[in-house]
Amino acid sequence: MTDPVINPDPKIAVVIPAKDNELMIGSLVLLARQYAGTVIVADDSSKDRTAEVAEQAGATVLHNSEYGGSGRVAAILAGCRRALESGCTAVVLIDSSGRHLTREIPHLAEPVLEGKADLVIGSRNLAGRMGIPAYQFDETGKACAIPPKPAQFVATDPGSTFRALNAKAIALLDVLPESESFEEAMNGLFTKRGFAMQEIAVTLRDQAPAKDADNLPLYKGQKVAVVVPAYNEELLIGDTLKNIPDFVCRVYVINDCSKDRTQEVVEYYASHDDSIVPIRHEVNKGVGAAIVTGYKRALAEGMDIVAVMAGDDQMDPAFLPELLDPIVAKKCDYTMGNRLISPAFRKGMSKWRFIGNSTLTMLTKIASGYWQMMDPQNGYTAISARALERISLNDIYPRYGYCNDVLVRLNVVGFRVINVPHPARYGKEQSKIKYSSYILKVSWLLLTDFLWRLKMKYFIISFHPLVFFYIAGAFFSLAGVLGGLYSLHFKFIQGHPIFVPMTLSLLIFGFGIMMLFFAMFFDMQQERMTNGWYA
């Protein structure tokens, strides 16, 4: 076996409590030996080959029969005592699961080695954007107040098992109880004793994004950007930015000429994270225009997938991978959240909001030709770069209703759309949509979009006779309605029998409705057919 040790520090010892981890323990020991002079595996009655594999990898192995105890805590104590016998200055505790990155061992041990801390905790909540100190307003609302450090140490990740200790701290571990809250009890005891404690940002192995040649994070090989439109979101934009996953390599925050201090908050976070890009509109152009600005910037910088998350912290970042995965797998080029699929998912949505969404969903199905689509008002979306390059960004509706307009444009060029169910999340945000006027405006938009789609998709780009069914259906339906009104006039104003004109009007109207149903049926069939990019 080739020895991979590269300049290990003899002042660092690594202790790994282990039980039934034969598949992971060997590589973990080899990796830890690159940084530590001593690696100790305290085996807690493993029934597999954990101890044998660890020993072959170069670790000092302790068995519970040797240290007279059992359980994880007893293994930790035995390992720490043996580590001190090696003459080390800092002992680093690490899980045998392999979830911790061994390359962070020196960083964790550094404050202990320099005598600045008795205990160093590796915090998963300080890494990436989560580690940016929260932006807060003072009581007057006129100044940025970064909260001062508390007088006593307060851990942001008190249960972290990735930590470094010195001999002084290890001497106190014997008084701690054997329990699942061992780490929390350690924090409390050391705080009472006045020990020096620190936290250092660490990243779990499954949370560390891959990087490209330019050191940009990748999501399954794709460069992902998030566009965040914001208008008067000074109170919520900070939470939105902090929670965006670290695999996102660009966050374009489009401040649509806010009247509050949104820009100041965004620039504060951008000063701590180069991936956050503030963009300001000098005049208010609307949420659709703000998103288009972000789309254009993402294309210019070579992003592969672009998601949209509102600046009001309403969209849960935990569901972002579910929007990205169908695009990465090339199952579609546009994904959109769906809150309407179950009562549990739309919990918190007002009844009026649900009725409005349902109405616009039906109208959007007809206008866009995506008959299986739901919840088109949901702004939580992701789109591929190739789809953005095909649709005309300059023509997208600039205000609320842009998402409906985008669907129509995607359908014309034949891109697939997939719904991704996710629960609604309502909190402190206040909806800026006035549904009384919004539904009327978007309904008119959908009518014009519908006519444009028929012209472009079924006349100019290709041809389908369903256009004639739509035209005939609209003509005869309108003729039937007008005939019915005339029949009423014929009866009650002129005093003539109503049977013949009303019967004829109903037949014409029924024929028109039948033609419209035929047109919709053919339109639905087109959605199921492979076309456009999928031909």
413: its two tokens: 């060029």
- Residue where one domain finishes, among candidates 403, 429, 457: 457
3-state secondary structure of 252: strand
Q: Is residue 1 part of a domain?
A: no
17-38: per-residue pLDDT in tens?
999 999 999 999 999 999 999 9
Residue 501 in this model has a pLDDT that exceeds 80: yes
418-460: per-residue pLDDT in tens?
999 887 776 555 555 665 567 788 889 999 999 999 999 998 9
Specify whether 186 is located in the same domain as 74.
Answer: yes
Closest CA relative to residue 178, chosen from 68, 77, 63? 77
Q: Is residue 198 part of a domain?
A: yes
Q: Is residue 2 part of a domain?
A: no
Q: What number is the average pLDDT over the span 63-90?
A: 89
**What pLDDT does residue 2 have?**
45
Torsion of CA 363, 364, 368, 370, to 10 degrees: -110
- The overall average pLDDT reported for the chain is 89
DSSP assignment string, 380-426: -EEEEHHHHHHS-GGGS-SSTTHHHHHHHHHHHTT--EEEEE-----
Q: Is residue 3 part of a domain?
A: no
- Residue type, position 450, single letter: F
Domain CATH code at residue 360:
3.90.550.10
**What pLDDT does residue 3 have?**
46
3-state secondary structure of 189: helix
The band of 377, judged by pLDDT with boundaries at 50, 70 and 90, is confident
Residue % of the chain over a pLDDT of 90: 66
* pTM to 2 decimal places: 0.79
| Whole-number Cα distances in Å, 109 to 120, 195, 199 | 7, 16, 11
The Cα 388–Cα 391 span in angstroms is 6
Specify whether 229 is located in the same domain as 366.
Answer: yes
Specify whether 449 is located in the same domain as 471.
Answer: no
Task: Of 321-330, 429-438, 479-488, give the lowest mean pLDDT range.
Answer: 429-438
- Residue where one domain finishes, among candidates 426, 457, 488: 457
Asked if 512 and 482 count as a contact pair (C-beta separation under 8 A), the reply is no
Domain count, the chain: 3
**What pLDDT does residue 205 have?**
83
- The vertex-487 CA angle with 486 and 493, nearest 5°, equals 80
- Residue type, position 227, single letter: V
Residue 151 in this model has a pLDDT that exceeds 90: no
**What pLDDT does residue 533 have?**
45
The Cα 315–Cα 292 span in angstroms is 19
Q: What number is the average pLDDT over the span 290-318?
A: 95
Residue span of the structural domain in which 182 resides: 9-207
Q: Is residue 52 part of a domain?
A: yes
Asked if 334 and 253 count as a contact pair (C-beta separation under 8 A), the reply is no
Closest CA relative to residue 128, chosen from 198, 183, 234, 204? 204
- Residues β-bridged to residue 336: 381, 419
Specify whether 127 is located in the same domain as 242.
Answer: no
Q: Which of 41-55, 128-142, 328-342 has the highest mean pLDDT?
A: 41-55
**What pLDDT does residue 162 have?**
97
> DSSP assignment, residue 129?
G
- The vertex-130 CA angle with 329 and 247, nearest 5°, equals 20
Residue position matching structure tokens 């100041």: 264
Specify whether 42 is located in the same domain as 117.
Answer: yes
Specify whether 337 is located in the same domain as 300.
Answer: yes
- Residue where one domain finishes, among candidates 423, 457, 491: 457
**What pLDDT does residue 143 have?**
58
**What pLDDT does residue 456 have?**
94
Q: Is residue 326 part of a domain?
A: yes
**What pLDDT does residue 535 have?**
36
Task: Of 163-172, 269-278, 338-347, give the lowest mean pLDDT range.
Answer: 338-347
Asked if 224 and 307 count as a contact pair (C-beta separation under 8 A), the reply is yes
Asked if 396 and 402 count as a contact pair (C-beta separation under 8 A), the reply is yes
Q: Is residue 296 part of a domain?
A: yes
Q: Is 330 exposed, middle or buried (0-12, 13-18, 19+ CB in 10 A)?
A: exposed
**What pLDDT does residue 150 have?**
64
Specify whether 520 is located in the same domain as 400.
Answer: no
Q: Is residue 382 part of a domain?
A: yes
- Give residues with Cβ within 8 angstroms of 455, minimum separation 6: none
Specify whether 202 is located in the same domain as 223.
Answer: no
473 CB neighbour count, 10 Å cutoff: 21
Specify whether 194 is located in the same domain as 268.
Answer: no
Torsion of CA 388, 391, 393, 398, to 10 degrees: -110
Specify whether 332 is located in the same domain as 447.
Answer: yes
Q: What number is the average pLDDT over the span 240-254?
A: 95
The Cα 411–Cα 363 span in angstroms is 15
Asked if 385 and 303 count as a contact pair (C-beta separation under 8 A), the reply is yes
Q: Beta strand pairing status for 163-165 and 119-123?
A: antiparallel
Q: Which of 141-155, 209-223, 277-291 has the highest mean pLDDT?
A: 277-291
Residue 408 in this model has a pLDDT that exceeds 90: yes
Q: What number is the average pLDDT over the span 172-191?
A: 88
Phi-psi region for residue 194, left (φ > 0), alpha (ψ -120 to 50) or beta? left
Q: Which of 295-309, 346-360, 498-512 has the highest mean pLDDT?
A: 295-309
3-state secondary structure of 217: strand
| Whole-number Cα distances in Å, 238 to 42, 124, 131, 258, 473 | 43, 19, 12, 15, 52
The band of 214, judged by pLDDT with boundaries at 50, 70 and 90, is confident
Specify whether 190 is located in the same domain as 322.
Answer: no
Residue 466 in this model has a pLDDT that exceeds 80: yes
| Phi and psi angles of residue 345, each rounded to the nearest 5 degrees, phi first | -75, -30
Per 3-state DSSP, the chain is made up of helix, strand and coil in percentages (nearest 5) of 45, 15, 40
**What pLDDT does residue 94 have?**
96
**What pLDDT does residue 28 have?**
96
The band of 534, judged by pLDDT with boundaries at 50, 70 and 90, is very low
Specify whether 442 is located in the same domain as 326.
Answer: yes
88: its two tokens: 């080390």
Q: What number is the average pLDDT over the span 173-202?
A: 90
